[in-house]
Amino acid sequence: MLISFVRTAILYLLVIIVMRIMGKRQIGELQPFELVIAIMISDLASVAMQNTGVPLVNGIIPILTLLVAQLLFSYIGLKSAKTRAIISGRPTVLIENGKLKEQALKKEMFTINELLEQLRIKNISNISDVEFAILETNGQLSVIPKSQKRPLNPEDLNIQTEYEGLPLDLIVDGNVNTANLKTANLDEKWLSDELKKFGVENIKDVLFASLDSSGNLYFQVKEKKGEDN
């Protein structure tokens, strides 16, 4: 029992580290060769977990070999566009200027019903409203509407807008993020003084606080025990 627990824990940590090294992309964003490697790694790990008669190293070495192969393919793809096209393929245009490309659909074995479904997911109901629909190498569909069908934005109306950066998280569950305070050229004394202006005496009582790019502080205090939601 103990041996199985230790083997499972080691392999679990190894797979987590390997997948972390491979990158942060979700399953739906993986290239075909990346998906194959991810599936093979999971299979190798599960076999080594279940079969305690197999030395643990026999499960670790193939996983590390696949990691090296994935990193090698990724590196080669960065350096050579031709190799990247061979490994990952090329994007395919399925709709151009509001017209279906029949041969491209057949080549990718992509049915019109599937295409219409993907368009509806992107809030597009009419093929004629699409300038380009491109099937990316990871299987996702990118849709570029015609200029007349795109939502208005401030630039279209010649409206000048102010810069909006990402808010900085200053407090999460009562814990101060000193790194973000330093980024904003502030300190805990400033934060404490600002909270006191709103009647918050203890930083530990704050559930969440953030600072936007305009210098506005947002915060929410924790609910007291027994307080109704």
Contacts (Cβ under 8 Å, ≥6 apart) of 124: 130, 143, 145, 149
Is 156 contained in some domain?
Answer: no
Q: Please check the confidence at residue 225 and state whether its pLDDT lies above 90.
A: no
Percent over 90 (pLDDT), the chain: 45
Tell me, yes or no, whether 57 and 123 share the same domain: no
Distance CA 58, CA 35 (A): 22
Question: Are both 202 and 145 inside the same structural domain?
Answer: no
Which band of pLDDT confidence, cut at 50, 70 and 90, is reported for residue 131?
very high
pTM for the full predicted model:
0.65
Is 171 in a helix, a strand, or coil? strand
* Judgement on whether residues 15 and 47 belong to the same structural domain of the protein: yes
**pLDDT for residue 19:** 81
**What does the pLDDT read at residue 90?**
87
Strands (E), 114-204: 130-135, 141-145, 168-172, 175-176
pLDDT band for 25, please (50, 70, 90 cuts).
Answer: low
Q: What does the pLDDT read at residue 69? A: 86
Is residue 177 located within the same domain as residue 128?
A: no
- Domain total in the chain: 3
List the one residue out of 166, 170, 165 whose CA is nearest residue 185: 170
Q: How do residues 144-188 score in pLDDT, each as one tens digit?
A: 999 888 888 888 888 888 777 889 999 999 999 999 999 999 999
Containing structural domain, residue 202: 168-221
- Long-range contacts at 53-58 (CB < 8 A, ≥ 24 apart): 56/7, 56/10, 56/11
Pair 23, 63 in one domain: yes
CATH of the domain at 104: 3.30.240.20
Q: What is the DSSP letter of 150?
A: S
**Residue 226 maps to a domain:** no
Per-residue model confidence as pLDDT tens digits over 120-130: 999 998 999 99
